[in-house]
Structure 1
Amino acid sequence: MNRIQKIAKRGGLISLAILTLLAGILGWNCWRFPSQQIALAPLPKLKLDEAEVLSRFQGAIRIPTISISMARMSEEGVHQQFRHYIETTFPTLHSAPFLVRTGTEFGDALNPSVLLEWPGQDPSLGGILVMSHSDVVPIEEDSLDQWSHAPFGGDVDESYIWGRGTLDCKHGLMAILEALSLLAAEDFQPQRTIYFAMGHDEEILGREGNRKIAEWFRSRGRRIHSILDEGGCIFTEFPGLDRPAALIGVAEKGYLEAEVTVHIDSNQVGHASMPPGETAVSILATAIDRLQASPLPARIDGGLRDTIRFLGPEMPSLSSRIAMSNLWLCEPLVKHKLGAKPSGNALLRSTVAPTMIEAGVRSNVLPAYAKATLNIRLLPGDSIEGVLAHLRNAVKDERVEVVALPNAREASPVSSSDAEAFELIQKSAVEVFPDVVVAPFVLVGATDTVHYTDLCQNIYRFIPTRLSERDTKRFHGIDERIGRENYFDIVRFFHRYLSTAATK
């Protein structure tokens, strides 16, 4: 064997040894990739008067509480009607030991948001806050004929409850009220104070609802141990799993609208029959193209890394488990696979979507300016100023101005998925829905919890609504509905969660 052959053989042996070592490391990490699931026996089904529970829910759906500002509120309006409905439907919750705050407590006698307080026996403990909202989004007039059931009819058949608010978010609001009413009837004595905040304007940013309620907590120095609001659901067809995934929101992305504007010299404005080399529209189009070609960096950290930590060990596919348990090597592959779909891409990075364009007044006149609006959702860890700097750097054109519009908000902090407060939600979900895999995740939408981030470290977002992929389109859409049995189980979930969280 000559020298070259010996070197080649030695190199082959070294390569084989490296590959063997690598395979061993990958296999070891996969083998010791620990499950984060909690094994618990299912709870016996809590007995409910299902006919009465359904009837009360139907009554709530039939009140068309479409979001409006306080300036349009009236004494005879639907939001006052809904507040009266809650008061008369759940009288137990509007008498001792419960305390009810509404109206002038939040700055205006007509403010229909409500804060229920059930004082705990140990005032030294921080309270638990559950949240929901009574307002719903409007129905588009030209979509009415596409609804199988009247949007505010509250129709019920053998399988479903139909109507606007059945998914967002009167099911959560009514289920919490049902659970509180059941606990009161059982003579339950909470150790921690239980608060229930019912906002009336979440769909229009919650400025007069939960923002005012949060101010009430601040002004009185009330301590909040944990918060549970809407957000995550039970997804029955989660990619890579053979079981439903119960996703609990541990954070939510920030929100920013930005304007991209081009103003050009007056000598470039005139008749369209003699166009210059560049117009305001073409400059804007180039800027948008550059933005689309320069996405913000993808990252696997914070909430997403925890999602992988919880879901990875439960995936039937060996290759998926190997990749998820070896992010030190496989992170680029995981990013590529996640980023291939819009839903996965939104978890990886701050997203930028051009949504509106404005330019010109007539087809034969060159416009003096052109403007686009960008809708931006910020990943936790990114900042508004940092994202704006990225956009300006991507455009690279002094003629193009990028400015933030009002009402921007930073991404929320990421709450711990190792905290006892998270575990209580996880346990309650598993006890009522024993078929689920539980995991934390970052919510790409927004909730009223944004008003409380300085008041509490343990903020979570979850209602155990079972959703197929097709059902997700019913949010704010046509034929909104929820399964009858699912709604009853949501009542049972909140009964279990409140009874355990208030005793810790």
Structure 2
Amino acid sequence: MSGSAKSESGSSTSKVVKNKKDETLKISIVHSAIITLVSVLIVLFVSNPDNQLVQGIYFYIFQLRTKFNANSFAVPQNSIQFANSNTANLSFDELRDSLCPISNVLKPKILNPERSNIILHDEEFLKQSVQKLSGAIRIPTEVYDNWPDVQEAPERWSKFQIFHDYLHDTFPLLHSHLKVDKVNTYGLVFTWEGSDATKKPIMLNAHQDVVPVPKETWEKWSFEPFSGDFNGKYIYGRGASDNKDVLIGLMETIELLIEDGFKPERSIILAFGFDEEASGVHGSFNIGKFLEERYGKNSMYAIVDEGGKVFKFKDKRFAFAGTREKGYFDGTIELLTPGGHSSMPPDHTSIGIMSEFVKWIEDDPFQPILTPANPFLTGLQCFAKYSNSPLIPKSVINDIILAQFNELSNFKTRKFVSMEKKLKYLAQTSQSVDIISGGEKSNALPEYVSVLINHRIAIEQTVEDITNNINNKLSTLCQKYDLGLIHLGNTIIEPTVKGYFNFTYHNTLEVSPLTPAFDAKWDIFSGNIRHLYEDLIYPEFYHADSNTDSKFVITTPTIMSGNTDTRNYWNLTDHIYRFTPGEMDLTLNNIHSIDEHLEFTSHLQLIQFFYNYILSVDEDKSE
């Protein structure tokens, strides 16, 4: 090589080295700048999290990041128009004041001046009421999933005749004054005919059945699960709080009204299903059809069924009434593959592939969505507006208030909700892998494996959203493992010699319609709740001083994550209140579990509420 060539080669190498050094220096400078910027943002956010500029920068960066992240809070808020002509120019105080109005106290006409004192404070009345509910608990009315209809297996359902006989003997006055229809043998519909046929009936519901008590758990109970024992404060037993307390309380209420000489103008209907805990397929399903045939669609004034209760948070009481229910979806996914000896397995057996699917489902949950279509948002705003409870951090209260008006506030509210286990599934679709089965033998390849995934569908989503999510994941696995896919008998991907997925579902329910809140019927409903607690139960608190304007019971809409018998009554009215009158301790969570019990004062409050509410509804001239 000549000297000049060597010189050119050395010069070229020198340039490459210099360029690499320059490039490394640039990268180092960029990295340092990024680290510095991130550090500054972290310090700013930690030291001053409520600063709107800091929040905006954080929100913008988070949104950029989530473009590449499936697990995002950046879910489209389809039904929110964050600023419009009605709200764009309002101040924060004006926006807050527009939310969650408080109904006036409503006092119904008085039939018997002593009645409320008897219900709430009379020892003899308490004793008789305990006996009635205790007797109902002592009759086991357990039901299981997927039972055949009454006509196909009458022996399974015969326990309900024993329960009917008990009700007949315990409430003779009711049975002699009200018409009784038995729907599908054991569904009970009691009708107290009103004098004004132009008024729509009020419908009050409960269910006769209870969830089973596993024999293995009996020894863990403080009292036998069907004893109906009362210890002076609590009554114990399966059904004490779900739902024989409401059923017995309604029947007690009707007998008290009869005793007090009440003559209704508006008809009163009591509807008691007998398999609510098994989706109501034999009970409320047939009762709904029966009532629709008799009265027609949209024929009821309103329906009250089991649901939220009254809770105290520091010095405020909130009555939570469910005005909407989440949807329901059970999906079964089966995987069928060739068998063989375990000594010569494929790289991935059907169980291994299904495990990958299950992990994917759990690693990719649905994300929270919060719009005005979800009454949980309304309830959360009511709580933020009126409560001083530490359950909601002060740093997020204003964002909750603004969640339907401002995109950043909505984002922060969803983030807060997603971090609270008891709240997150009120704003998002849940998915729970509940049943899995597969494999027969230790030395045989599994030819069949299946999983059942339960979903409770968020308000802004549909059954189709759930099926699309599952189908998309299954399709990806089919491509990866050369498998087929059949969906409800329809071939999506042709089965192969390696096998196929079979995706089916039978138990589905779309999200319920939304009950209007803060209208005239709501005012009657919530006004009676205020009267019960402010005037009759705690007058010494609510009327102890002149500053009574700041002391009131707040009735707020909320969402039901589970479904009630009302799933079969949607055609009967737009106004369905899922509410169980009575106070409940937040620390108690024993429904469907060991030592189910009810503080009996709550049962007495239930009777008093329905007594007053029936009178108020009867006075309403609107329809």
> What range describes the TM-score normalised by the shorter chain of this pair?
0.7 to 0.9
Residues 427 and 129 of structure 1: CA distance in aligned 2, closer, same or farther (over 3 Å): same
Residue aligned with 2:616, SS: helix
Distance in structure 1 (CA, Å) of the matches to 2:155 and 2:439: 41
Match of 1:370 in 2: 449
Residue 218 of structure 1, CA deviation: 1.8
Match of 1:251 in 2: 324
Match of 1:233 in 2: 309
Residue 217 of structure 1, CA deviation: 1.3
Instruction: Compare CA radii of gyration and give the structure with the larger one.
Output: 2
Residues 234 and 19 of structure 1: CA distance in aligned 2, closer, same or farther (over 3 Å): same
- Work out whether 1:53 is the aligned partner of 2:129: yes
Q: Is contact 1:258–1:402 with CA below 8 Å preserved after alignment?
A: no
Query: What letter is aligned with 1:313?
Result: K
Distance in structure 2 (CA, Å) of the matches to 1:297 and 1:169: 33
- Between 488-497 and 64-73, report the one with greater CA deviation: 64-73
Residues 30 and 457 of structure 1: CA distance in aligned 2, closer, same or farther (over 3 Å): closer
- Work out whether 1:77 is the aligned partner of 2:189: no
| Deviations, residues 9-28 of structure 1 (Å, cap 9, x unaligned) | xxxxxxxx9969x9x98754
Distance in structure 1 (CA, Å) of the matches to 2:515 and 2:142: 31
Residue 300 of structure 1, CA deviation: 0.7
Residue aligned with 1:418, SS: coil
Match of 1:331 in 2: 410
Match of 1:8 in 2: none
| Deviations, residues 177-202 of structure 1 (Å, cap 9, x unaligned) | 11111111111122221100011221
Distance in structure 1 (CA, Å) of the matches to 2:221 and 2:444: 43
Q: Is contact 1:256–1:378 with CA below 8 Å preserved after alignment?
A: yes
Residue 310 of structure 1, CA deviation: 2.3
| Selected match of 1:93 from 155, 158, 174 | 174
Distance in structure 1 (CA, Å) of the matches to 2:312 and 2:384: 17
Q: Is contact 1:33–1:313 with CA below 8 Å preserved after alignment?
A: no
Distance in structure 2 (CA, Å) of the matches to 1:500 and 1:484: 25
Residue 467 of structure 1, CA deviation: 2.8
Q: Is contact 2:106–2:528 with CA below 8 Å preserved after alignment?
A: no
Q: Is contact 1:253–1:377 with CA below 8 Å preserved after alignment?
A: yes
Residue 242 of structure 1, CA deviation: 5.3
Residues 46 and 191 of structure 1: CA distance in aligned 2, closer, same or farther (over 3 Å): farther
- Work out whether 1:38 is the aligned partner of 2:111: no
Query: What letter is aligned with 2:572?
Result: L
| Deviations, residues 307-341 of structure 1 (Å, cap 9, x unaligned) | 23322211326434311111113111111111123
Q: How does 1:295-444 map to 2 (within 5 A)?
A: 295-301=365-371, 302=373, 303-316=375-388, 318-327=394-403, 328=406, 329-395=408-474, 396-398=476-478, 399=483, 401=501, 403-434=503-534, 436-444=553-561
Match of 1:3 in 2: none
- Between 494-503 and 313-322, report the one with greater CA deviation: 313-322
- Between 400-409 and 292-301, report the one with greater CA deviation: 400-409
Q: Is contact 1:271–1:364 with CA below 8 Å preserved after alignment?
A: yes
Residue 205 of structure 1, CA deviation: 1.8
Distance in structure 1 (CA, Å) of the matches to 2:172 and 2:199: 27
- Aligned-pair identity in percent equals 25
| Selected match of 2:345 from 275, 280, 304 | 275
| Deviations, residues 80-131 of structure 1 (Å, cap 9, x unaligned) | 11111111211111123x21111xxx24xxx122111111222112111000
Match of 1:11 in 2: none
Residue 480 of structure 1, CA deviation: 0.8
TM-score, length basis structure 1: 0.87
Residues 256 and 298 of structure 1: CA distance in aligned 2, closer, same or farther (over 3 Å): same
Q: Is contact 2:180–2:188 with CA below 8 Å preserved after alignment?
A: yes
Q: Is contact 2:207–2:244 with CA below 8 Å preserved after alignment?
A: yes
Give unpaired runs (5+ residues) of structure 2: 1-50, 57-88, 109-113, 120-124, 486-500, 535-551
Query: What letter is aligned with 2:127?
Result: A
Match of 1:262 in 2: 335
Residue 437 of structure 1, CA deviation: 3.1
Residue aligned with 1:81, SS: helix
Query: What letter is aligned with 1:463?
Result: T
Residue aligned with 1:347, SS: coil
Residue 413 of structure 1, CA deviation: 0.9
Residue aligned with 1:405, SS: strand
Query: What letter is aligned with 2:414?
Result: K
Residue 411 of structure 1, CA deviation: 1.7
Q: Is contact 2:327–2:511 with CA below 8 Å preserved after alignment?
A: yes
Q: How does 1:106-185 map to 2 (within 5 A)?
A: 106-107=183-184, 111-185=185-259
Query: What letter is aligned with 2:418?
Result: G
TM-score, length basis structure 2: 0.71
Distance in structure 1 (CA, Å) of the matches to 2:215 and 2:430: 31
Residues 76 and 310 of structure 1: CA distance in aligned 2, closer, same or farther (over 3 Å): closer
Distance in structure 1 (CA, Å) of the matches to 2:170 and 2:307: 26
Distance in structure 1 (CA, Å) of the matches to 2:52 and 2:154: 71
Residue 76 of structure 1, CA deviation: 9.9
